[in-house]
Structure 1
């Protein structure tokens, strides 16, 4: 946990990381806006989404991925708050494709960080193993999302659109996005690996000890 906290609180390095932090700041500002304009549930939705947006920074993921995660997360939650999914029936399909893939990638790397699943680089078929686990995570997240939509329709807001065809399409697109994220994991986690690798000590004293 300390390593996650240190990574989260470190100073941004470069314009890309600053951009990702600005997107997180926008997420924070959106919380009271959503609460005032769309009610407490809107504020809670933005708060939950903004909390999740810190994970790529804590995991030291590539800044480009961090930016994409923040933008897609905000688009997804605002689409829900403003009922865009209801007014534009097809809009949830690209959102499920993108968000499920990004969330599955972050979920996989969290499991690796806490040593719940093996690091793919320690396995004989890293790409295949990562693709399978990430796809399974993405489909699992998708199922929980559909369950949440069902719960919301029956107990919170009857206007939430839920249907068999809609659910199957969401799961299919989310699974494809998660598979793509798994196949791209070497690119997604490259920045994290480069920062976690120990640096060689160039000091003369260390070189002389090693040479001896």
Structure 2
């Protein structure tokens, strides 16, 4: 995985993806200077996710889609879009968890916990099941972070029981949908086949 991360950009898509990672870092710095520490913390929270596609060797197209989605999810919180636009929260949970699930699957494959897409033991039904389960787990973690933020950081974070259940359902559905695409066309997600 270290070799994937250190590998230089080899296409325009790679440069765009790395540019989005730079936008993420600059966003944290800008929020710390001109915004609030809470905003900077929210944006810093997604930096590890922005670096993940490089470690797992994701294709640049998936890397770009993933990075844009994660940045939109974070900035939506900073700009209060979740409360400003009805349904925005559900859409972001659906799409963001949808791209997080196959990225997490690729990470688990790199760690040799699940079969990599190129391996003969890779099964579509297993990939779909894992994707859905990962989606629900990520959704639960996301909601836990929101609850901790509401209880211990700021009451500006919107969280209710109905919101939590709806977000988890949307996240699970997004992970299932993208998991099906991943199971049938894993080569569209993964660039480097080695599981180093």
TM-score by length of 1: 0.83
1:90 is matched with 87
The residue that corresponds to 1:179 in the other structure is 176
Secondary structure of the 2:46 match is helix
Kindly provide the CA deviation profile for residues 44-98 of structure 1, in whole angstroms up to 9, marking residues without a partner as x.
2222312321111221111110001111111100111222212224211111011
CA apart distance, 1:100: 0.5
Residues 62 and 188 in structure 2, CA contact (< 8 A), matched pair in contact too: no
2:71 to 69, 74, 82: 74
Q: Bigger CA drift: 5-14 or 71-80?
A: 5-14
Among residues 124, 135, 138, which one is paired with 1:138 in the alignment?
135
Distance 1:161 1:97 in 2: 18
Equivalent in 90, 95, 98 of residue 101 of structure 1: 98
* Residue in structure 1 matched with residue 51 of structure 2 by the alignment: 54
Q: 1:149 to 1:159 in 2, by over 3 A?
A: same
1:122 is aligned to 2:120: yes
More relative contact order in 1 or in 2 (CA 8 Å, sep 6+)?
Answer: 2
TM-superposition CA deviations, 1:76-129 (whole Å, max 9, x none): 0011122221222421111101111111111111111111123354337x1111
Q: What is the TM-score normalised by the length of structure 2?
A: 0.89
Q: Which runs of 5+ in 1 are unaligned?
A: 198-212
Q: Distance in 2 between matches of 1:133 and 1:104?
A: 8
Tell me the equivalent position of 1:13: 10
Question: What is the number of residues matched between the two proteins?
Answer: 192
Q: CA deviation at 1:132?
A: 0.4
- Compute the displacement of 1:191 (Å): 6.0
